[in-house]
């Protein structure tokens, strides 16, 4: 059995602090073989940097997925993505000439695990390749050698996430939704053995609007005048993650448990 913890979008310094506070406790409780997190908001809520990825690797995260903000700090992102055996993924349905890769093969307990990352098109970047076809091509390419497929589908529309889950049902071990920062209550394991949740939620400041200070967000909605968005420096933190247990022979999910904790 392979045990995995997957954290939702880590939002800025508050999210990084939350990871460092909670991860020792979760590692003691669950004894995971692999720890994954979405990192596209890692650096002050927008993009990634060499130092923030290094900070989270030191905290204990093994692999980082991302999404539409991964290139917001372009030079930093390229440095990480171009590293040999980089821990960071960018969406696999971005243009093939973009830096980095959209999938990472990991071997644990003589089991091959493929973590891959896709970006939705509905209400997002509709110029990326079709995530449905891209997912199927990745599975077809690796299915002879891979036991377990873990997908982070970074998408806005609930319908697109649910549809992709049904399209890939039984072909992958887990489809984990990220991006909206709001945890959903539809976590399940299908009859065909695929674990699913529409959105894990985020790791970041609780008293916020999806990670940002609430006052300028409200002001922008009231006035329609663009405001400077900031990340709260103080306050309680929320941790949203899932814990997976997967059969190493069949690749079917055996357990999916939501993790939600608040820390000061």
**Banded pLDDT at 91 (limits 50, 70, 90):** very high
Q: Are 30 and 2 in contact (CB under 8 A)?
A: no
Q: Structure pTM?
A: 0.95
From residue 13, give the alpha-carbon distance in Å to each of 27, 69, 193, 250. 21, 16, 36, 39
- Which pLDDT value is given to residue 233? 84
Q: What is the mean pLDDT of residues 77-103?
A: 94
Average pLDDT of every residue of the chain:
95
Q: Is 3 helix (H, G, I), strand (E, B) or coil?
A: strand
Q: What is the mean pLDDT of residues 238-251?
A: 97
Q: What is the mean pLDDT of residues 61-88?
A: 94
Residue 125 has pLDDT above 80, yes or no: no
Q: Are strands 111-119 and 9-10 parallel, antiparallel or unpaired?
A: unpaired
Q: Is 179 a catalytic residue?
A: no
Residue 264 has pLDDT above 80, yes or no: yes
The ranges assigned to domains in the chain are 2-204+235-263
Rounded Cα–Cα distance for residues 111 and 129 (Å): 30
DSSP single-letter state for residue 88 = B
Q: Give kind and range of the element (H or E) at residue 55.
A: helix 50-59
Give first-to-last CA distance, the chain, whole Å: 34
Give the rounded percent of residues in the chain with a pLDDT score beyond 90.
Answer: 90
Q: Are 20 and 26 in contact (CB under 8 A)?
A: no
Active-site residue (options: 44, 69, 142, 181): 69
Alpha helix (H) residue ranges in 201-262: 214-223
Q: Which residue has the higher pLDDT, 104 or 233?
A: 104
Residue 126 has pLDDT above 80, yes or no: no
Rounded Cα–Cα distance for residues 249 and 121 (Å): 33
**Banded pLDDT at 96 (limits 50, 70, 90):** confident
**Topology of the domain comprising 2-204+235-263:** Purple Acid Phosphatase; chain A, domain 2 (3.60.21)
DSSP single-letter state for residue 130 = P
Tens digits of residue pLDDT in 5-57: 999 999 999 999 999 999 999 999 999 999 999 999 999 889 999 999 999 99
**Banded pLDDT at 127 (limits 50, 70, 90):** confident
Give the rounded percent of residues in the chain with a pLDDT score beyond 70.
Answer: 100
Residue 140 has pLDDT above 80, yes or no: yes
Q: Are 5 and 255 in contact (CB under 8 A)?
A: no
Beta bridge partners of 245: 3, 255
Q: What is the mean pLDDT of residues 208-231?
A: 91
């Amino acid at each position: 059995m392979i045990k995995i913890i997957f954290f939702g979008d880590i939002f800025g310094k508050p999210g990084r602090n939350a990871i460092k506070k909670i991860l020792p406790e979760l590692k003691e409780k669950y004894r995971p073989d692999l720890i994954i997190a979405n990192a596209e908001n890692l650096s002050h809520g927008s993009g990634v940097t060499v130092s923030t990825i290094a900070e989270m690797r030191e905290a204990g995260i093994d692999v980082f997925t991302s999404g539409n903000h991964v290139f917001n700090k372009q030079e930093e992102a390229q440095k990480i993505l171009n590293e040999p055996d980089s821990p960071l993924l960018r969406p696999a349905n971005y243009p093939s000439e973009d830096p980095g890769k959209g999938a990472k093969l990991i071997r644990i307990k003589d089991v091959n695990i493929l973590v891959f990352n896709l970006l939705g098109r509905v209400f997002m970047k509709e110029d990326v390749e079709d995530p449905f076809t891209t997912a199927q091509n990745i599975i077809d390419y690796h299915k002879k050698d891979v036991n377990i497929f873990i997908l982070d589908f970074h998408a806005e529309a609930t319908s697109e996430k649910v549809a992709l889950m049904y399209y890939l049902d039984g072909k992958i071990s887990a489809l984990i939704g990220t991006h909206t920062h709001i945890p959903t209550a539809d976590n399940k394991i299908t009859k065909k053995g695929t674990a699913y949740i529409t959105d894990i939620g985020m790791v970041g400041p609780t008293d916020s609007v999806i990670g940002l200070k609430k006052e300028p967000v409200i002001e922008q909605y009231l006035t329609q005048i663009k405001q400077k968005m900031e990340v709260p420096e103080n306050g309680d933190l929320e941790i949203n993650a899932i814990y997976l247990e997967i059969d190493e022979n069949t690749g079917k999910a055996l357990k999916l448990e939501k993790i939600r904790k608040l820390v000061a």
